Structure 1
Amino acid sequence: MLPNRAYIKVQQVRPDATAKGPPIVQSIQLVPVQALPDRFQTIFPFAMFNAVQSGCFESIYESNDNCVFSSPTGSGKTVLFEIAICRMLRGWQNGTFKVVYMAPTKSLCSERARDWKAKFESLNLRCEEMTGDSDINSLHHVQRADIIVTTPEKWDSMTRKWKDHEKLVRLIKLLLVDEVHILNKDRGAALEVVVSRMKSIGSGTRLVALSATVPNSQDIATWLGRNSDTPDIPAVHKRFGEEFRPVELKRHVCGYQSTANAFGFDAILTKKLPDVIIKYSQAKPIMVFCFTRKSCAEAAKFLAEWWKTSTPRERYWPAPTDQIAVEDKGLQSTVTAGVAIHHAGLSQQDRTAVERAYLAGSLSVICCTSTLAVGVNLPCHMAIIKNTVGYEAGAIKEYSDLEIMQMIGRAGRPQFDTSALAVIMTKMQQVKHYEQLLSGQERLESCLHLNLVEHLNAEIGLGMVPDLCAAKKWLAGTFLKVRLEDNPAHYQINGDTPDRNLGARLERICESAISELRRLELIE
């Protein structure tokens, strides 16, 4: 279990004591949407920006400085991107421009593209999604779009292939980076490289990055710089703690000893679900995230049987209020106990029936795959992550921190609850990692050094790095350089030893990488 400091308070709203005006939340005076010009107000379906949005409003709307904002899941960070777009529109009314939004997963990109296509239509902005699943004519989409929604890998691939990439990139006036804390993971290298590339090519491009709560988000601000004219001054940086989460979230990590493989361990965890529900549940809606469709079915069947064999007083959720019509045989046997499954293997008709019944209160428990954590608005009171592994490229791997936080983000229903619960069920040796993750104590480190030779080769191919001096300058513009300065012993790089002289170390790293490229005959 996490220490008490990980528990948080619900936002307290109080009126201004000295004047009539917008309320104050967490010592921040809320900003009304009417502070924006009339044409922008229709984008926001509420009258007042919340505390996080209001605390950032002046920085993001009244200036063109690069910004880094760190706040908890569910605190309304996406609205900050929308305010930044409004700011850009105010300054580029008659010019040609493009906005690029980058998120780490296709599901996040699809959700954002759907939302923004509808939202910005009134401003005559065309929003196009460009991910691995997008149309083959990606460049055509980029050329006609005003807002481009993409992943770091796709944007990296596109900018590597453009024959006239510099001309096109210079049209980009705003780069929005969502979930920037993925810098910490293997895929973070692609994000780091493409943002560094945009910094060097896209003179005048404003960068706005949003992060979950991490202790060294200031390092991201140092990396991005205030603007292209003053890159040595950090970007505007604001960090909001867990007290800004709209619903109090109590978090627990349950560790279990096991020598079984992932499937055997998962079966053990299924049998442990009643213990977790008995200990933490409050007879309110529950989501159980499972790593396979079969795991969903087994968990739902086990919980339904547990409920049916319990006396009414012993049951931890109410009986269904209505009969639920579904086609799937397994689903038919569990919905009578208020339990359902939800994954891509169900028909669209059954998935819709489950979603509607859950929102109506007829179903109390959904056993689902991690895909339900993105794109479907089904909040719960209690989120249980049963096993912390999933399938990636045909192999079983630990979920990424982003996936874990997205699943946990389903816990909390502001319209119904003042508190919510999240429980992670994992192997004992993973407990410390998840406790640090949930309490925001895990520091961000760069992963660029793990694939440095490959990425340097790409920059050389683009003509960005013609010689050793340029290579050193390129490396000096990365997040890796920022972390090398602060935590030099963390990085083990071929041909390098930790050195108090950062400049000398960067030069050695570049020389080693270039030598390796020559050995491989990739450069002359």
Structure 2
Amino acid sequence: MKLRCTEWQHTCLTLSCVQERKNLIYSLPTSGGKTLVAEILMLQELLCRRKDVLMILPYVAIVQEKISGLSSFGIELGFFVEEYAGSKGKFPPTKRREKKSIYIATIEKAHSLVNSLIETGRISSLGLVVVDELHMIGEGSRGAILEMTLAKILYTSKTTQIIGMSATLNNVQDLQEFLQAEYYSNQFRPVELKEYLKINHTIYAVDSKAESGMTFSRLLHYKYSDSLKKMDPDHLVALVTEVIPNYSCLVFCPSKKNCENVAEMLCKFLKKEYLKHKEKEKCELINNLRSISGGHLCPVLKRTVPFGVAYHHSGLTSEERKLLEEAYSTGVLCLFACTSTLATGINLPARRVILRAPYVAKEFLKRSQYKQMIGRAGRAGIDTIGESILILQEKDKQKVLELISRPPENCYSHLVQEFNKGIQTLFLSLIGLKIATNLGDIYRFMNGTFFGVQQKILLKEKSLWKITVESLRYLTEKGLLQKCPNPESEEELHCNFHITKLGKASFKGTIDLAYCDILYRDLKKGLEGLVLENLLHLIYLTTPYDLVSQCDPDWMIYFRQISQLSPAEQNVASLLGVSESYIAKKASGQATRKKVDKDTVNRLYLSFVLHALLKETNVWNVSEKFNLPRGSIQNLLTAAASFSSSVLHFCEELEEFWVYRALLVELTKKLTYCVKAELIPLMEVTGVLEGRAKQLYSTGYRSLMHLANADPDVLIKTIDHLSRRQARQIVSSAKMLLQEKAEALQEEVEELLRVPTDVPSAKA
């Protein structure tokens, strides 16, 4: 295997700090080849230094894509690739004596993984940690979790190297100080990117040397009928038809609905010749979309796919998204109307990127968002140039000119802003893991965080010391910590803290501290009359609290559902205090005198959605029944699977909840896969979703062993619409999983047969 490095990649890999295993932050434009450097360093760590590796990625979809890509390397080179996303991942990870592992994890799962390694004294087994999209450390609660993870690694392991990469970094000095890292940047881009702005009929080139920041480029010449002028005031038809169908195009839209509207509008005015381009492949794609959805097909996609156009946003199911992305990558689809999430998601570049407006929803674009979107323009090895066109109104001209000329936004810690998910969660885990157990040590730890580095900028009213004292007092009052005087010192500074059982359960389950006492109360109340004749009661207890406030029930649908409940299901609603008469009054618009907890009502409604999904396993049917976007339902299912796993870990720490443990193991599995039991072994394989699992099962591939021993060439012939790359990835992932299971069993056997040194032998 030969790897060709560009000059900057060679320079980066041979930096003295990399050779000396110091921490490194490096920054390049999108498509500059950052990932290859990280992958070379990871392989070096696994194969040469014989240490485990953790790679932290922002989204589940990217984790799964990376696992698919690296599994074949693992099979060939003898290491494991393990998934830590959603409800997947073992804590602590399997301890291996021979082969090493690369853990591919989301931000949240990486934090739990690091906690488990610290708790079991195995953090030094982690030789390298790679963080993609490092700038996300400055983004809300997820940024706070990423900061906690890195701070703990820095504090507990002096041998673990940290590599952070990003396309958009500004205040790098703060990050360098926090990570004790060197910094390398380069402006290399394999394909030249030309930036343009469009105002009315005029296109301007972005030009930093010009006084106004832009220079005239050309006028748009396109014959517009009156109806087209009305339907397409931004001249999108003119802009995209300069590129498609021979080249690809991404149109970023401010909202999900706008994506669908734009895709449909474009197809109304595209010429009939577009239908003939890759006609056979597009027919196959439509058939495949229908088959993976149990005969359903989105009416918008039905109209747009024949023209090579589709929309791409979170309203799609993961199966649809995977099929559409594959079709776009192979040129079957030439245009995506998409939301900004695609910019930070999987690698889908285009010849031309069009920004429909300088807004994401109603918020004006950030510089980092703009750079990530336009960074998708230009496909290395395919295009010689990439173009971006930002469409704007005259009223936004000044703000846009400032946007394109300023540096990326500064990155600020969210550890204290995110009170429950940040500093308090951190303190609870520090004490639970015995990293720091008194006020002085915790304060010292805090000074070493990203927040500690920025405290002079971020703290206006309170000092870090005062915030530390207040947070520990809050955790003690909440019953999560206990204060224990130190016999050796009467000073408050040296007073030790111990974690309570409830605190340990909350920390082990990674339960948001805003909800830990509510969860405890709900589980305790559930013990008084847990309904086990069906899954509804258990589903209610594992429906995520943070989604309840966003829920807006359709009362007519709610009434229809509650009136169709079986007696056992009615018993659940009754135990929760939600009556049919109350919902009937809400549905008819009548005033309700009876006080019912709004969160309980909303949570039960979401439980109905999940319960229907587990019974039917068809997202489309449930989407129709509840009038909810199918993608939103799938996202609810993913969140519920993850929360169910968290509740299971919570219950494992509290003896009184022993009855929930076996029940939650099964429920978590059901929520994770949401398919008939026989398909679950196939769906453990990365990249195999329900539609693909059904295809495989019906053609005789019914177990992990069958898949691991499959010939990719035979798979392609047997399974409809399966590409060679997908077939290889499926076989590699199956082999990897099978090897993992076999090795784990072997380790278990050897552990059982190992004779303790202090036990005399039979002969003696």
Q: TM-score when scaled to structure 1?
A: 0.69
Report the CA distance shift for 1:438/1:468 in structure 2 as closer, same or farther (over 3 A): farther
> Which one of 161, 185, 201 corresponds to residue 239 of structure 1?
185
> Which one of 293, 298, 303 corresponds to residue 333 of structure 1?
303
> Which one of 114, 138, 144 corresponds to residue 68 of structure 2?
114
1:179 aligns with 2:133: yes
Q: Distance in 1 between matches of 2:404 and 2:81?
A: 33
Q: Distance in 2 between matches of 1:433 and 1:374?
A: 21
Deviates most, 378-387 or 98-107: 378-387
Tell me which residue corresponds to 1:195.
150
Tell me which residue corresponds to 2:88.
134
Report the CA distance shift for 1:433/1:183 in structure 2 as closer, same or farther (over 3 A): farther
1:58-69 to structure 2, matched below 5 A, reads 58-59=14-15, 62-69=19-26
- Does the Cα contact within 8 Å between 2:237 and 2:266 map onto a contact in 1? no
Report the CA distance shift for 1:282/1:491 in structure 2 as closer, same or farther (over 3 A): farther
Q: Distance in 1 between matches of 2:147 and 2:339?
A: 29
1:210 aligns with 2:175: no
1:447 aligns with 2:417: no
SS in 1 for 2:416: helix
- Does the Cα contact within 8 Å between 2:193 and 2:387 map onto a contact in 1? yes
**Residue 352 of structure 1: how far off its partner (Å):** 4.4
Tell me which residue corresponds to 1:103.
57
- Does the Cα contact within 8 Å between 1:389 and 1:398 map onto a contact in 2? yes
Larger RCO, structure (CA 8 Å, separation 6 or more)? 1
Specify the code of the residue in structure 2 equivalent to 1:101.
M
The one-character-per-residue Cα deviations of 1:101-152 (angstroms, maximum 9, x if unpaired) are 11121122112222122223322010101112415x4434576861111122
The one-character-per-residue Cα deviations of 1:148-203 (angstroms, maximum 9, x if unpaired) are 1112211223444x396251222111111111111121021110111000111123
- Does the Cα contact within 8 Å between 2:29 and 2:375 map onto a contact in 1? no
Q: Distance in 1 between matches of 2:159 and 2:57?
A: 22
The one-character-per-residue Cα deviations of 1:340-388 (angstroms, maximum 9, x if unpaired) are 445674796997488547744x654233456655776542112234465
Specify the code of the residue in structure 2 equivalent to 1:92.
R
Report the CA distance shift for 1:237/1:371 in structure 2 as closer, same or farther (over 3 A): closer
- Does the Cα contact within 8 Å between 1:69 and 1:238 map onto a contact in 2? yes
Tell me which residue corresponds to 1:146.
101
Larger radius of gyration: 2
Specify the code of the residue in structure 2 equivalent to 1:367.
A
Report the CA distance shift for 1:373/1:163 in structure 2 as closer, same or farther (over 3 A): closer
Tell me which residue corresponds to 1:413.
379
SS in 2 for 1:167: coil
Tell me which residue corresponds to 2:429.
458
**Residue 335 of structure 1: how far off its partner (Å):** 4.5
> Which one of 321, 329, 335 corresponds to residue 277 of structure 2?
321
SS in 2 for 1:79: helix
1:250-329 to structure 2, matched below 5 A, reads 250-251=194-195, 271-275=232-236, 278=239, 284-290=247-253, 294-308=257-271, 320-323=276-279, 324-325=282-283, 326-327=286-287, 328=297
Report the CA distance shift for 1:79/1:322 in structure 2 as closer, same or farther (over 3 A): closer
**Residue 423 of structure 1: how far off its partner (Å):** 4.3
1:383 aligns with 2:336: no
Q: Distance in 1 between matches of 2:230 and 2:438?
A: 55
Tell me which residue corresponds to 1:511.
469
Tell me which residue corresponds to 1:468.
439
Specify the code of the residue in structure 1 equivalent to 2:384.
T
> Which one of 77, 83, 89 corresponds to residue 123 of structure 1?
77
Report the CA distance shift for 1:351/1:169 in structure 2 as closer, same or farther (over 3 A): closer
- Does the Cα contact within 8 Å between 1:182 and 1:402 map onto a contact in 2? no
SS in 1 for 2:103: strand
Q: TM-score when scaled to structure 2?
A: 0.49
- Does the Cα contact within 8 Å between 2:45 and 2:53 map onto a contact in 1? no
SS in 1 for 2:111: helix
SS in 1 for 2:165: strand
Tell me which residue corresponds to 1:75.
32
The one-character-per-residue Cα deviations of 1:472-517 (angstroms, maximum 9, x if unpaired) are 2111111112223xxx34444xx61xxxxxxxx4434423433443
Report the CA distance shift for 1:249/1:320 in structure 2 as closer, same or farther (over 3 A): farther
1:11-90 to structure 2, matched below 5 A, reads 42=1, 46=3, 48-59=4-15, 62-89=19-46
Q: Distance in 2 between matches of 1:109 and 1:470?
A: 35
- Does the Cα contact within 8 Å between 1:255 and 1:431 map onto a contact in 2? no
Q: Distance in 2 between matches of 1:412 and 1:75?
A: 11
**Residue 204 of structure 1: how far off its partner (Å):** 1.0
Report the CA distance shift for 1:276/1:168 in structure 2 as closer, same or farther (over 3 A): farther
Tell me which residue corresponds to 1:32.
none
Tell me which residue corresponds to 1:30.
none
Report the CA distance shift for 1:389/1:350 in structure 2 as closer, same or farther (over 3 A): closer
SS in 2 for 1:113: helix
Specify the code of the residue in structure 1 equivalent to 2:55.
Y
Q: Distance in 2 between matches of 1:131 and 1:351?
A: 17
SS in 2 for 1:334: helix
The one-character-per-residue Cα deviations of 1:271-298 (angstroms, maximum 9, x if unpaired) are 4552585499556421224576654432
Report the CA distance shift for 1:91/1:65 in structure 2 as closer, same or farther (over 3 A): farther
Report the CA distance shift for 1:438/1:365 in structure 2 as closer, same or farther (over 3 A): farther
Tell me which residue corresponds to 1:18.
none
Specify the code of the residue in structure 2 equivalent to 1:119.
F
The one-character-per-residue Cα deviations of 1:239-276 (angstroms, maximum 9, x if unpaired) are 223xx1222223457899xxxxxxxxxxx998455258
Report sequence identity in percent: 26
- Does the Cα contact within 8 Å between 1:105 and 1:151 map onto a contact in 2? yes
The one-character-per-residue Cα deviations of 1:57-84 (angstroms, maximum 9, x if unpaired) are 2126532111111111111111121222
Q: Distance in 1 between matches of 2:325 and 2:433?
A: 50
Specify the code of the residue in structure 2 equivalent to 1:245.
R
Q: Which structure has greater helix proportion?
A: 2
Q: Distance in 1 between matches of 2:437 and 2:73?
A: 43
- Does the Cα contact within 8 Å between 1:269 and 1:386 map onto a contact in 2? no
The one-character-per-residue Cα deviations of 1:441-472 (angstroms, maximum 9, x if unpaired) are 31211111213233223322322221221122
Specify the code of the residue in structure 2 equivalent to 1:63.
E
Deviates most, 398-407 or 246-255: 398-407
Tell me which residue corresponds to 2:193.
249
Structural RMSD (CA): 4.1
Report the CA distance shift for 1:365/1:124 in structure 2 as closer, same or farther (over 3 A): same
Report the CA distance shift for 1:509/1:357 in structure 2 as closer, same or farther (over 3 A): closer
Q: Distance in 2 between matches of 1:67 and 1:354?
A: 33
SS in 2 for 1:92: coil
SS in 1 for 2:122: helix
